[in-house]
Chains A and B, each alone.
Chain A
């Protein structure tokens, strides 16, 4: 007699047994599942094809090698590692422009078979459960948003959670610590109208400063992601085209972005050779926070389906004008620096030091668009491996796992982004909007009387507030000037694949602050 049989016999012994069982088994004993309608699952944001971040940097231990990385499956909960896989029917790509026309000349493609929760037969434990195939860098079959699988090129394959090498390239795909660091909760509160700035300062509502010199919370701390890291010889991607006069500016700089694509056909493991797409691009990513900060939600889907070559035409309009050093109305970089200083945001404890400073010279209101459009990371292969290169050619030079990229973007924006301050406020930028493309904010229109809570701040474009203070204060104040240190919650590996190991399972050493069982 099985346990089930015994229990069932117990249940039919009497109605009261059944009632007792319900009362014991169901907390509160009263609410049960609604079964009288279909109750379809929540539809998710397609996390396995959602690119969180893209990275490109020189291997600091061997500067003849370039590392490409992307992360998906954001907000992966450490306790349930096998729940997160790369999508077997998706195509993950790094795209490389080494001529300067914002079109990919080379691609690195990754595809996966099996799941971490349902292993590919080639991948028994203790390896990861997915079988990954990486081909590239190689010339793409076709350029643009619809892609085919490439057949030729350097290739490695093997199981996830293993360093794979062959044909001069190395690859690693596995659940990893999420290297992204941002005070996303505060960022959302600022955009949502319940806070003004990152840190409390004067009349601005923000977070209080803690004793340890922090005030922010890393909204990505504690979470894992699925990380894909590929190393290729620099010589494979350098290219020989003359890029002077293009957005790449010099002949040692490449443009890099990541894409994910899905085929509408279901790919079968045993028919891979016959299945060559097309894969329709569902997402792309270049700069950190580009979509979050600059694009209206209504255009994000269209942006994700488009290509960098279209950015100048389609999304440049959403990037604000840059301040100049010679604006006839006094709306200058120096005047902005003075305003930031007057507000107390130019140094601790209320803010971070200026990155560029009042003497930074610019005469081109297109500067931010030059830096951000097309939305691809600019990466100078000739620069030292550790060179963050803030605003030297593009927003920054490539992107390392530990770079403080959120602060770089926000702190450059606060010094350079044109803002239309209210008429008559006397602030630089309060002159007529005309044909300026400026963030438009009237947050200083009605300064509150002393001692009076100013309440919700009227501000049509609250991004002004998000950038005005220019940093997220997650790392202690001692690090606030170091834009190569984001304050990530886990160490990065010292060698390939560099990305941090995943957060420990509950109960394992290293578990911090995991709430007790309830």
Chain B
């Protein structure tokens, strides 16, 4: 695998590119072909009655499904157009509410959280009995950092049975609020509910990936791996599950295997977070040139379009800070993100960027915001520990780093060992 340089040449490059495109087409699962059929069918319904708001709403929902499965944000634009047509056709009643809920969903996907909340509330005014806009409003509130209101919003759905039950959403909120055990239990319930509704498909696969993420956060690598495997059973080729598998492999020190999985995930959807993680794996095994290629890819994707800049703003800030690249820009991006949302992870990225820019005092203020819920996330604790150390606060630094490592000793392919090293220094220094 390290002999690739010998098989170069422009023709070969083009062939490889074409082959990769072909692969992308074949990895696109039967599920996606199914979704294409659904999209085409609803297109035909719209053609049969262009003035039927329900037909436009269903087409919009099909585009959203396609966007989620394929990772291609352009489908959200199509979804927006269809839902807007539905909203234009009726301004009252349940059909109008659904159109607005769909528009709110598109806004969430684009990180336009305030517009999402506003649209969801419009939908609720139109149909107070509709559960869907409540759920979207709650999701937007979580991103905006209004966790109490999000909890109240989700609570209104708690009595619903079947697939409308918000167990998965509440589980994530519980994790943020510092109760990972309860979060895992809730997410297991959400998995059971989603599976009972339909064992095959993206919603079930997505929920199983969420369970995998929570289990990873709690250091249960075997459990996380099983959850990702189950997700792949529900949706073969699902990029999020492949990437999760990669992360578990990296945590276990199986770095080559991790790299292979990340490559597979990138083959499906070239997400910056996958490229960054792959780069880190290469860095860890000392293959710097390959790492640099992946890091360059992160930046390329993050800047490819105006929309990408919005959507990947925070990811890019974290990436730059993590890799000591253009640190002033990282800080600028983090500050800009705070205008869009004030959730704990945005404060975390701001704190990390401030720390990397040598502003530890300001970083600590941001970190306090990031930790305001007591979230048991090793990344947050790692950042907090490093900031404490920079301020000479050795005891809190030691406590935070120890806590991070006790939650998950392999929380990050590079940072876990860094945390362990700093912790050892701190202990030795006492």
Contact check, A513 vs B48: say whether CB atoms are below 8 A apart.
yes
Choose one: B13, B108, B200; the contact of A17 (CB below 8 Å).
B13
Convert A175-214 into 0s and 1s, putting 1 for each residue whose CB lies closer than 8 angstroms to a CB of B: 0000000001110110111100000000000000000000
Contacts of B49 in A (CB 8 A): 185, 217, 219
Query: Which residues of the partner chain B approach A38 to less than 8 Å between Cβ atoms?
Result: 139, 142, 172, 210
Q: How far is the CA of A280 from the CA of B162 in the complex (A)?
A: 11
| A296 to B351 Cα, complex, angstroms | 50
B7 within 8 A of A: yes
The answer to whether B199 touches A115 (Cβ under 8 A) is yes
Q: Is the CB of B16 within 8 A of A11?
A: yes
What total of chain A residues lie within 8 Å of the partner, measured CB to CB? 88
Binds B, one of A76-84, A244-252, A492-500: A76-84
Look across to chain B and name the residue whose beta carbon is closest to the beta carbon of A28.
Answer: B74
The interface-forming segment of B269-277, B388-396, B411-419, B420-428 is B269-277
Question: B406 interface residue, CB < 8 Å from A?
Answer: no
Known contacts: A188-B54, A266-B196. The answer to whether A7 contacts B20 by CB under 8 A is: yes
Complex CA–CA separation, A31 to B72 (angstroms): 6
Binds A, one of B38-46, B325-333, B360-368, B376-384: B38-46
Interface residues in B87-104 by Cβ distance below 8 A to A read 89-96, 101-102
Q: Report chain B residues within 8 Å CB of A29.
A: 304
Give the interface centre of B34, B42, B43 by most chain A CB atoms within 10 Å: B34
Report yes or no: A26 in contact with B72, Cβ–Cβ below 8 A.
yes
> Contact: A42 with B92, CB < 8 Å?
no
* B412 nearest CB across to chain A (Å): 17
CB distance from A289 to the nearest CB of B (A): 14
**A77-B14 contact given A13-B7, A44-B163, CB 8 Å threshold:** no
Identify the closest chain A residue to B90 (Cβ): A192
Q: Are B270 and A32 in contact (CB under 8 A)?
A: yes
- In the complex, how many angstroms separate the beta carbon of A117 from the nearest chain B beta carbon? 4
Stretch of B127-135, B177-185, B218-226, B246-254 with 4 or more beta carbons under 8 angstroms from chain A: B127-135
Q: Are B129 and A118 in contact (CB under 8 A)?
A: no
Task: Map CB proximity to B onto A12-45 as digits: 1 under 8 Å, 0 otherwise.
Answer: 1111111111101111111111111111111111
Mask: chain A, 75-112; 1 = CB below 8 Å from B; 0 = not: 10111101101011110000000000000000000000
CB-defined contacts of B338 to chain A, threshold 8 Å: none
Give B201's nearest chain A residue, CB to CB: A83
Q: Which of B24, B89, B105 contacts A194 (CB under 8 A)?
A: B89
**Does A167 sit within 8 A of B, measured CB to CB?**
no
B192 touches A266 (CB 8 A): yes
B151 within 8 A of A: no
Option from B68, B129, B240, B307 in Cβ contact (under 8 Å) with A31: B307
- Across the interface, do A12 and B71 meet the contact criterion of CB distance under 8 Å? no
Contact among B77, B109, B129 for A297, CB-based, below 8 A: B129
**Per-residue 0/1 for A298-313: is the Cβ within 8 Å of any B Cβ (1 yes, 0 no)?**
1011000000000000
A79-B34, A192-B96, A262-B162 as given contacts; A117 in contact with B199, CB under 8 Å: yes
Q: With A and B bound together, what is the CA distance between A3 and B16 in angstroms? A: 11
B203 touches A41 (CB 8 A): yes
How would you classify the secondary structure of chain B's contact residues: helix, strand, loop or mixed? helix
A496-518 contact mask (Cβ, 8 Å, vs B): 1 or 0: 00000000001000000111011
C-alpha spacing A194/B93, complex, angstroms: 12
Give, as a whole number of angstroms, the nearest-CB distance from A8 to chain B: 4
CA distance A48 to B72 in the complex (A): 29
Residues from chain B with a CB closer than 8 A to the CB of A518 are 40
Nearest A residue to B95, CB-CB:
A188
Chain B nearest CB from A180 CB (Å) reads 13
Does residue A6 face the partner (Cβ distance < 8 Å to B)? yes
Report B277-318 CB contacts with A as 1/0, cut-off 8 Å: 000000000000010010011001100110110011011000
B4 at the interface (CB under 8 A from A): yes
Supposing A40-B135, A83-B201 touch, asked if A34 and B90 sit within 8 A by C-beta, the answer is no
- Please pick, from A15, A43, A85, A184, the residue contacting B132 in the complex, using a CB distance under 8 A: A43
- A contact residues around B40 at 8 Å (CB): 79, 506, 514-515, 517-518
Tell whether, in the assembled complex, residue B199 and residue A40 are in contact, meaning their CB atoms are under 8 Å apart. no
| Contact partner, A14, options B54, B101, B267, B293, Cβ 8 Å | B293
B146 within 8 A of A: no
Residues in chain A near residue B8, CB distance under 8 A: 13-14
B301: chain A residues at CB < 8 Å are: 22, 32
Which of B109, B142, B162, B301 counts the most A-chain CB atoms under 10 A from its CB?
B162
A-B contact pairs, 22 of them (CB 8 A): A12-B293, A17-B13, A17-B17, A20-B14, A22-B301, A24-B17, A25-B20, A33-B73, A37-B108, A37-B139, A37-B143, A39-B68, A41-B207, A79-B37, A83-B200, A184-B52, A189-B90, A194-B51, A217-B52, A297-B129, A506-B37, A518-B40
Contact surface of B with A, Cβ cutoff 8 Å: 1, 4-5, 7-8, 12-21, 23-25, 34, 37-38, 40-45, 47-49, 51-55, 58, 61, 64-65, 67-68, 70-74, 76-77, 89-96, 101-102, 105, 108-111, 127-132, 135, 139, 142-143, 157, 161-164, 166, 168-169, 172, 192-193, 196-203, 206-207, 210, 240, 260, 263-264, 266-267, 269-273, 290, 293, 296-297, 300-301, 304-305, 307-308, 311-312, 314-315
A8-B263, A194-B90 given; name 18 further pairs at CB < 8 Å. Answer: A11-B267, A21-B20, A25-B24, A25-B270, A31-B74, A31-B305, A36-B273, A40-B139, A46-B162, A83-B34, A185-B54, A188-B89, A192-B53, A193-B90, A217-B52, A263-B161, A297-B127, A515-B43
